[in-house]
Amino acid sequence: MANEKLVTIKEADITNNCPECFNQKMSIRFYQKHRLSKLYDRTTKEISFEVQCHKCHSIIYPVNWTPDIERIFEYYKKMAIPENTSIRFTPMFYLLILLFLALIGAGAYLYLEGFFKF
């Protein structure tokens, strides 16, 4: 089963008014999803975001956004360039491949030496 991890690709402080407490200290973060397992680390295309107020610590959902927050969001969305989708294999994957090749080599050697009679 693969675990999922969100990696921050862009973070910025914004000075728009919070719709909850009207404070001007907020931040916007863009995340890219990574799927991790014992054999690989896969970077996906999925991008998520979060707008949070620093004073009331509430997450501002798009339903509550003001037109100013929407403009700032569109601006930073263009600046948040995600990593290319890729797959990176872990050392355990390479160890299993090496073990598999060693078993095939040992079987071929034993067959050629006459240990297996068919």
Structure tokens at 85: 């989708």
Residue 38 scores a pLDDT above 70: yes
Residue 16 scores a pLDDT above 90: no
> For the chain, which residues make up each domain, given as ranges?
3-90
Residue 98 scores a pLDDT above 80: yes
Round to whole Å and give the CA distance between 73 and 25: 15
For residue 19, how far is the Cα from the chain centroid? 29
The predicted pLDDT at position 17 comes to 86
Round to whole Å and give the CA distance between 77 and 65: 15
The average pLDDT across 33-51 equals 92
Q: How confident is the model at residue 2 (pLDDT cuts 50, 70, 90)?
A: low
The predicted pLDDT at position 1 comes to 58
